[in-house]
Amino acid sequence: MTLKEINVKERVIVKKLNGQGAVKRRIMDMGITRGVEIYVRKLAPLGDPIEVTVRGYELSIRKEEATMIEVEKVA
């Protein structure tokens, strides 16, 4: 399951980052690494970007980048 498939107000844990090069580096620079918890706050009106909270910071992630982040729902 990827971050793009998660509903608003759900918490997930990052399992794996796919992708390569500059895009992967950008995701990691935002603090999104394996084992980190992400809370999906809201979607923009057209669904892009996705607003999330990571490590206490509010971030915007493009749908294209969200497909590269494999996650698991928090029980």
Structural domain count of the chain: 1
CB distance 15 to 68 below 8 Å: no
Please give the residue range of the domain that contains residue 20: 3-73
Residue 75, pLDDT > 80, answer no
Q: What's the pLDDT at 1? A: 94
Q: What's the pLDDT at 17? A: 93
CA distance linking residue 26 with residue 8, whole number of Å: 23
Identify the helix (H) or strand (E) that includes residue 63.
helix 63-66
Quick: pLDDT tens for 13-69.
999 999 888 989 999 999 999 999 999 999 888 768 999 999 999 999 998 899 999
Q: What is the CATH number of the domain that holds 23?
A: 2.30.30.90
